[in-house]
Amino acid sequence: MTIAQSAAHATEAVPYGVVIPVRIYLDDLDGFGMLNHVEYARLFDHAVIDFWTDAGWVADPSSSVQAIRDVHLTYHQPITTIGRVMVHLWVAEAGRTSVNYRFRILSEDRGTLHAEGSRRLVNLDPSTLRPSPLTDAMWQFAAPLLGPDVQRPRG
């Protein structure tokens, strides 16, 4: 089963966004046997990259660059084992040049909320590094991620 197939199956229980399985490895755990706090953002990042790569997007820094403006995390229940977790991610807000992702990191059975947060990403023109409008292709790829009431801004 590919990640895309697994993610498609995993989205059956969520009304918006996608759920991507991400693996926890032994070296992700700290000296206390818990997932190190910096790894939670990395889990989200891996899920986002898996989604976009499986959708067919190819990173091309000559055409656009995405920069993270801010990240917020709230920790609820430590992850203390290796294995898989499920990352539910969606676009909660969208502007002309940026999107705000929301995410929840859940146990594989989805019974435990380990962490949740948000990440604002800004699309930049590669030559000026100034904000640049999201492209038509980006909007097409992002369609499965759009949360309730999120639409492409006009203009």
**CATH classification of the domain holding 90:** 3.10.129.10
44's enclosing H/E stretch is: helix 37-55
Average pLDDT for residues 116-125, to the nearest whole number? 97
Q: How confident is the model at residue 23 (pLDDT cuts 50, 70, 90)?
A: very high
Q: How confident is the model at residue 5 (pLDDT cuts 50, 70, 90)?
A: very low
In a domain, 150, yes or no: no
For the chain, state the CA radius of gyration.
16
Mean pLDDT (the chain) is: 91
46: pLDDT strictly greater than 80: yes
In a domain, 67, yes or no: yes
In a domain, 80, yes or no: yes
Paired tokens of 79: 């992850």
Question: What region does 33 belong to: left with phi over 0, alpha with psi -120 to 50, or beta?
Answer: left
Q: How far apart are CA 40 and CA 100, in angstroms?
A: 17
Instruction: Look at residue 36 in the predicted model and tell me its pLDDT.
Output: 94
In a domain, 83, yes or no: yes
Question: What region does 110 belong to: left with phi over 0, alpha with psi -120 to 50, or beta?
Answer: left
Structural domain that includes position 36: 3-145
Q: 67-76, 79-88, 135-144 — which is least confidently predicted? A: 135-144
Instruction: Look at residue 155 in the predicted model and tell me its pLDDT.
Output: 66
1: pLDDT strictly greater than 70: no
Tokens 């199956």 correspond to 9
Percent of all residues in the chain with a pLDDT value above 90, rounded to a whole number = 79
Paired tokens of 135: 């492209």
Structural domains in the chain (count): 1
In a domain, 44, yes or no: yes
In a domain, 127, yes or no: yes
pTM higher than 0.95, yes or no?
no
Spatial contact of 22 and 35, defined as CB atoms under 8 Å apart: no
